[in-house]
Structure 1
């Protein structure tokens, strides 16, 4: 079980920066930090079932730009357009959940818990709340002071192929194994038609519909995303159990029902196919691998310099 890895994960030196993260970082300065975050996230989820998918996606998008430094939370200023206002991040949400957590932590432990650590802990908690595995979150990140919208252009895209995805993950120090495992986060949430409707019509000179897409599933998607659709909220769940954390995402890929090209492409490449098939067959294996992969993602770009923001939206 993943829980048995906790002892091994208590102290890790992040090779990219030399910064040290520790599972017990707040044991003396804010021992209630995890309880406060879990309770707040659980209550937010009870009021809005979209919160888990949104928090998990926020963690990915934060760590992939400048590392896990909460730069995605900073608001734009007249002088600077921040990450959250980059085109690919306009669909991010649940910033208010992080704001509420930060407010409570500032009351209990002023100027102690970084916004970057809040996102990392909340990402674990939404997985657990949704029925997924738990893991020991390493802590001690500092908040960055720079956030630039133009840098979000380097985030992986929904139409990327496997080679492009592998390159993107490799640039962050993440492996092919991490790519396939972390892609399983798509078991939560949904995607708008605009992210995949090009697969449904006029796909290529030889095929009207993407040939890697199951024909019956393509017909179903066409009904949900009619041609010239004007509804910006129309879309489809990324798997058939969009509110539950499980391995259905991989099962759907094996069945030709990966919603995005960046999902389905994992089945067509020998470097990733076997792991997709293994995760589709064995949920426990996926759960076993997911926690450690999230720890590795949380180590990306961790730096010793930085600050602990009092307000996650602005630098101190």
Structure 2
């Protein structure tokens, strides 16, 4: 009787859920190995992209890079000396969650603020260099960023050195309100005195350069360079379009448009940036 029942006994199978099947069949590729170009949509191998200075092989689109990567690309190896790294932001308005955001950015990026300032050589020529980092709260300009830039400008004036500032920012930092807006006047005043001393100031606009940074030191350079297709502007495209009630050109607020209108002196490919800066420093050292 038992043998007869066994013939009709239902076998127990392991249930495999559809998502488990998908997980088994999915290729095991480490996270972050491939990157999608935001400009053309092409999928790129991260290792090759980094070896190409983070420039897309397909469309020549320039990816955003960190301040440390930028310094490594343009400053002669072993010559960079960081200045004013101890200057950091506080929370003057007791803005909720601001201190936590600062802490996360500092831990993640290993820099204290959204700009790295220092002195180094480019193609053998001494210069002060300031590089903004969009990874640190979108490169926003708070009181510490303004103070670091101002001190770097004053340092270059005292040492009678040229200064190069790479901009990359969403504008003034809203978490500090009026304190961040005051940095526009402070940095501009320091640059005015630097100019009175007959010293060279070069601005390199990188994607994006907007808001209070554009409205102050970003557009005050004796020579203004930009990377290809860089977004450059003050207010947003949609705000401007709604205000004037007109359609704007497709390339409005892009480096190429500003070059055509005379706001930018030259668009420089990232691979040519160090060579170009070195040549400009050489011409102005005579």
Query: Structure 2-normalised TM-score?
Result: 0.28
Query: Structure 1-normalised TM-score?
Result: 0.26
Query: Which fold has the larger relative contact order, with Cα–Cα distance below 8 Å and residues 6 or more apart in sequence?
Result: 1
Structure number with the higher helix fraction is 1
Larger Rg: 2
Structure number with the higher strand fraction is 2
